[in-house]
Every structure is written in structure tokens, then in C-alpha cells.
Amino acid sequence: MKMTSSSEVYIRVKLGIIEIDDVAQQYRPSVDVFFYFKAKDNVEHQSLSVGKIRFENIRKPSWVPHFKFENGVDKMVVTDESYWIDNDTGLIFGRKNMIPSLQQRFDHSAFPFDRHILDIRLHSSNCLLQRWENIDRHCPIEVQLNDEKWQIQGELNALADSWKLKNITMTISDNKDNLFSIANLCISIERRSEYYLLSIGFVLFLINLLQACIFLYPYNEARFSFAMQLVLTTVVFKFVIQSTVPKTCYMMNFDRYMVFGMLVLTMRFVVDTYLQATFELPVGDEGYRGKCYASTGRITVCDLDLWSTGILAAVWIVVSFFFFFLGPIFLRPSWKSMSSEKKKKRLRKKIIGKA
């Protein structure tokens, strides 16, 4: 078995995402760091069992690795910090659970088909971090993961209904001259779009599809009243759902879909205005729609009204079909493009830092 030097700490991590705040551009992970190192001094034992055991629970040693998060915005909460000593090897095992609030810029332009790579930068200022090595497959049960071979384990906890965990990685970089390390923990997550498509998008689809019934209305104020009610309903619906969608200063895919629906209703107004300004309108008894009569081969106002209504309804149905069924395929960004964008952002930060 390999013994650690006095400056090396071997770690593995269990991650969980507790909360993602799209508005504040923050998220709160639960970071369980399991580690072991060689004791630097005599350790006072605090045995929890009678008789000799291999792993004993001990008080906090005088020297322990110091962890902090580079992108933290508030004071982190430490919910658990425990230590054990291996009586056979003299190694100190530890477990520290931390819940920080981290700041990160989210790109919601693909919402509700967005993906994100959460970057958690765990910094150790008094030692060099190394990847956890198997210690003859013996360690306290409190510092074990689901698989002994794993070095990092992730889960979404309460957010599992809203997000999908796609990948999780850990890379460690050391600075031996200044004796510090940075462990980059990256969690790749993908938003579950079903809720937004069914509960919000489909309702909007039905509201705008009602414009297909407008050709049955007479050519008077009743028709404009019906169209105006559809527009106002769409506007009110947009304000109602503001609390459930990210607030951004740029257009998201969901915003584009809603704006296109407003354009369909606007085109309906334009068509009606053209028809009433150009043609002689058939008006029946008591303001009801009258019948259209025309000589053979001549297009009537009723024909144009029906065709324009059908075209607008068909366009709206096709766009909605693409958004609902093909959007998760064609509108969702690839992980490769996101990784390359992260590299560009890091490069810009480095250039600014050097300047």
C-alpha cells in the first residue's frame, strides 16, 4: 500500500444539486468530500467501541486540509465534519459535507431545451490534492461511495424531476511551489422540457389555434372583438408564466415561439383589414354573415377569408409540431459546442487577468 506524504491529501467526491436559481444565476450543490492523509502529529483517540478496532472515530486533528470554493458568493454551510484513524496504517480518514452558494452565468437561449455544465471549483490552500487510491479496499464505511472504484458520484436529489444528470467529471491541478490544488468538478445537466411544452406551450398553441374559427364570424365588430380577445389572452398568458420561465435580456427559443404566435394573430388582423377595405362584404340579416355570390372564375371575399385562415392555421400547426416534437433534437445545443464555449470563456478570463 502506498503511504501519502505530509503534503498530499487523497480525495473523492459525492455531489448533489439542491437548488438552481435561474433568475439569480446561482446554484447550491451538496459537496461531500471524502479524503485521507498521513497524520502529522499524535492524534487523540475517541473510541466509540469497546476493544481494539481498525477504524476509530477521533476528534478533529490539529492539521486538516482546508477547502473553499473559488466561485462561492456566500458563506458556505458545513453540515458534517468527521474523522477516523486507521490503527493499522496510521492514516487519517475524513468526511466533510459543504453546501455553498455558487455563481455562474447560465445561457438560457435554448430554453426549454437548454443544457448547462455546472463548474464547481474546489480549492485547497494548504495541501496538494490527489485522486483517491484504493487502500486494499479497506476504509470506514462512512467514506464509501456506491462503487469502491468510483472517484466521483453525482445525483440531482430534489431536482431530478426538472433536470437530467448526463455526466460528471473531476480534474485536479496542483501548484507544488505554492502548495495548493484546485479540483474542477463539472456536472453536465439537461433540462426536462416536458413540463414547459405540455403545461405552457400546448396551452399557447390552443389559444392561437382558435383564430382558425374566425372565418365563421360576420364582417363587423364581432370579428375584431374575437381577434382582440385572442391577442389579449395571449398577452395575459405571457405575463402569467413569467414566474416559471427564466428572466433574460435576450430571446429564448420559448420567447421566439410565443412571438411567432403573436405574429400569426397580427397577420389575421392584416388580412381582415385588407378584405374589408377592398371587397364588398356580404352582410346577412341582423348582422350575420351573408352568402358570397360571384360569377364563374371570380374569387370572392369568402374564398380569400377561408384560404388565409387555413394557411395561417397550417403554418402555426407546422411550427408548433417542429417546436414540440423536433425541438429537443434540433434546438438543443450539443455538449461539444458547450465545451468549446467554456474554453473560450476561460481563455477570455485569462487574457483579462494577464492584462
Distance CA 237, CA 353 (A): 45
Distance CA 13, CA 96 (A): 10
Distance CA 275, CA 279 (A): 6
Proportion of the chain in helix, strand, coil states, percent, rounded to 5:
40, 30, 35
Q: What is the pLDDT along the chain (355 residues), one digit of tens a residue?
A: 444 555 799 999 999 999 988 877 889 999 999 999 987 665 555 444 445 678 888 889 889 999 999 888 878 899 999 999 988 888 999 999 999 999 888 889 999 999 999 999 999 988 999 999 877 667 898 998 888 888 999 988 778 888 999 999 999 998 888 888 999 999 999 999 998 999 999 999 999 999 888 877 777 777 888 888 888 898 899 888 888 888 888 899 999 999 999 999 989 888 888 887 887 777 655 545 556 655 455 777 888 888 999 999 999 999 999 999 999 999 999 888 877 555 455 544 543 444 4
pTM assigned to the model = 0.81
Task: Please report the domains of the chain, with CATH numbers, ordered by start residue.
Answer: 8-192 (2.70.170.10), 195-330 (1.20.58)
Helical residues (DSSP H) of 163-215, grouped into ranges: 194-195, 202-209
